[in-house]
């Protein structure tokens, strides 16, 4: 497993992280790992995984508009 070294963290931030770890009954390292794990879930997908997948649903109702009414000739 890789490791990360963080420099120049303010005393206030470090103390707040320690308090947060204590409130969750974790070590400081355990708290930081949890924070980083949650944050990593927001990373954009790997290149090539950016294909948009659309899902269509049929409701059984007729639309009150048509594609041509919205886009006209320029939508083709």
69 in any annotated domain:
no
10 in any annotated domain:
yes
7 in any annotated domain:
yes
34 in any annotated domain:
yes
Confidence at residue 67, expressed as pLDDT on a 0 to 100 scale: 74
Confidence at residue 30, expressed as pLDDT on a 0 to 100 scale: 97
Confidence at residue 76, expressed as pLDDT on a 0 to 100 scale: 55
Three-state secondary structure string covering 19-73:
HHHHHCCCCHHHHHHHHHHHHHCCCCCCCCCCCCCCCCCCCCCCCCCCHHHHHHH
Best CA proximity match to 3, nearest among 40, 27, 39, 29 = 29
Answering whether pTM is above 0.85, one says no
Taking only the tens of pLDDT, the chain with its 76 residues reads: 889 999 999 999 999 999 999 999 999 999 999 999 999 999 887 776 567 777 778 888 777 777 777 777 765 5
3 in any annotated domain:
yes
15 in any annotated domain:
yes
67 in any annotated domain:
no
Residues composing the chain? 76
8 in any annotated domain:
yes
Asked if 14 and 32 touch (Cβ cutoff 8 Å), the reply is: no
Instruction: Report how many domains make up the chain.
Output: 1
Domain span at residue 17 reads: 1-43
């Amino acid at each position: 497993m890789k490791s990360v070294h963080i420099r120049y963290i303010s005393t206030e931030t470090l103390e707040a992280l320690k308090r947060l770890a204590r409130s969750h009954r974790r070590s400081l390292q355990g708290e930081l790992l949890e924070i980083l794990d949650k944050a990593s879930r927001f990373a954009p997908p790997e290149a090539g995984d950016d294909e948009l997948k659309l899902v269509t649903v049929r409701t059984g109702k007729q639309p009150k508009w048509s594609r041509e009414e919205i886009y006209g000739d320029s939508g083709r």
